[in-house]
Amino acid sequence: MGAFNFDTSARSALGLVRSDNEDSALVTERLIAVADGMGGHAAGEIASKIAITTLHALAPVLTDTTIDSDSIEDLLLHSLHTIDLNISEYVKEAIDLKGMGTTLTALLINAQTIALLHVGDSRCYRLRANTLEQLSNDHTVIQELLDQGSISSVEALNHPQRSVLTQALMGDGNTDPILQVYEAKEGDRYMLCSDGLSSILTEKEIKALLKTGDKDAAVKALIDATYINGAPDNVTILIADVTRKEVSANQLLGAAQ
């Protein structure tokens, strides 16, 4: 029986308002990731590019099947510190970019498990049979208020702080990441996306389009839906089916290209 792989379709689109793409993404057969930069001017795209290219450089080690599972998970978690350090080093040379940062949401297949590494509000969803579940937890002021019961989900929709992050990779060492580990199951469909999608479409709308059998068609339908709704932000979508088939992939998208 073959090892698990991700069979992935991906696209990063500019949207209808922004002039630059601050999203970056990575697609390999066992490691996929989305990063959404912030900071204005060129800073956001630089930060997301650093995150994704750093993870890409670490991919050969992170996907090394000769390393035991616990060590791989530790290495994946430590990759955030490497990214944060690389952002810090960049800002030292370009002080005007201080304050730039990025989200990062990544999935790594390791033997019989899938590890989710997450900072910020880019999301990870899993479609298993007919059940869609958001696996990532947004690191935002709004999510904290929702968790505390201080506001309702309806109030959250138009809250003035709905886009304020409580965690991001900014080169300051202030992230507190959690690695979530799930059982790998053939036929599961995962989606990673920037908030250019999740802030525009409802979970019901996402589920209906994600269930489209063909991954390429599902990506196109989701992107098209954001454009129909004004696409005020960059939108990046990775749809990955878990398979035991042989897959070969090595792609950088968005600002990381």
8-12, 14-18, 149-153, range with the lowest pLDDT? 149-153
Answer yes or no: are the C-beta atoms of 117 and 108 closer than 8 Å.
Answer: yes
pLDDT of amino acid 130: 94
Segment 57-111, tens digit of pLDDT: 999 999 999 999 999 999 999 999 999 999 999 999 998 898 999 999 999 999 8
DSSP letters spanning 122-144: -EEEEEETTEEEE-S---BHHHH
Distance of CA 231 to the CA centre of its chain: 18
Report pLDDT for 152: 74
Of residues 60, 87, 81, 229, the one with CA closest to residue 171: 87
pLDDT grade for 1, boundaries at 50, 70 and 90: low
pLDDT value of residue 147: 75
SS3 state of residue 252? strand
3-state secondary structure (DSSP) of residue 65: coil
Query: pLDDT by residue (tens digit) across 31-42?
Result: 999 999 998 656
**Structural domains in the chain, sorted by start:** 5-244+249-253 (3.60.40.10)
At residue 40, the pLDDT reads 66
What is the pLDDT at residue 160? 66
- Check residue 142 and give its pLDDT: 85
**Token duo for residue 127:** 């479609």
Tokens of 131: 């059940």
- DSSP tag of 6: E
pLDDT of residue 164: 85
Taking only the tens place, the pLDDT of each residue in 150-194 is 877 666 666 666 678 999 999 999 888 889 999 999 999 999 999
Residues β-bridged to residue 18: none
Q: Measured between alpha carbons, how far apart are the two ends of the chain, in Å?
A: 35
Average pLDDT (40-52) is: 89
Summarised one tens digit per residue, pLDDT across range 200-219 is 999 999 999 999 889 999 99
